[in-house]
Amino acid sequence: MNEAPEVLTERRAGVLVITINRPHAKNAMTKGAAEAIAAAIDELDGSDELRAAVLTGAGGSFCSGMDLKGFLRGESPTVEGRGLAGLTLAPPRKPLIAAVEGWALAGGFEILLACDLVVAAESARLGVPETKRALVAGAGAALLLPQRIPLPIALELLLTGDPITAQRAYELGLVNRVTPEGGALDVAIELATAIAANGPLAVAVTKEIARSASDWTLEEGWKRQSELMAPVFSSEDAHEGALAFSEKRAPVWKGR
């Protein structure tokens, strides 16, 4: 009897839904699951039909972090050059939205931080409990959380290891939308669909600029932005956007 795949993918009208499918282990991350997520990211960025993706977990939980049984076997839930879950060091070029039910803990929280937007059910709990196990949140939380929320709050989460509610995460700016329990995936797909309706070149370059801006000086930022924008403004899609507006019709994007 074949085991169920550790990661499932489904295409929904320009949106790729990626589901971590280990509900018996609260979707704890394994090497195999990490490699499958990396493959799904390659599918997303390599497809002209796909414009955005949603990452979620099966069985009412997002991801409880690293699979400890695998860790004890000497297995690392990473992909060389791409980080934890095949994602944290090399996020996709296209937008990725996390749909969180239940727990997003430790590595699961760091996977969430690698996503561009987050939708969480009101019953979700988010946290980085590594210090409770004499570990360091080294897959992105210790580095990135202080850039996303005020330093004292980031340190409280990192040093106590205590989780927070979805509502508190929303108030801190870590979560975009809070939904009733069971509703995170539907709202995340709605957001992804809204993004997918826009010009794909413009969306990808806008994400690249926004994600990179903190690494640039102001002078460098203006220069790099101009370089990245130039091909977008001269693209067929830019012409189509203006033409569709003037003709009062929906645009037909070609991604070029």
Catalytic residue among 6, 35, 101, 110: 110
User: What CA–CA distances, in Å, run from 201 to 16, 70, 144, 229?
Assistant: 17, 39, 27, 9
For residues 121 and 183, the answer to whether their CB atoms sit within 8 Å is yes
Catalytic residue among 10, 130, 236, 247: 130
110 catalytic per annotation: yes
Distance between CA 255 and CA 252 in Å, rounded? 9
The helix-helix angle for 236-246 and 218-233 (nearest 10°) equals 70
Kindly state the DSSP code that residue 255 receives in the 8-state scheme.
-
The backbone torsions φ and ψ at residue 75, rounded to the nearest 5 degrees and listed phi first, read -90, 140
Q: Which residues are catalytic?
A: 110, 130
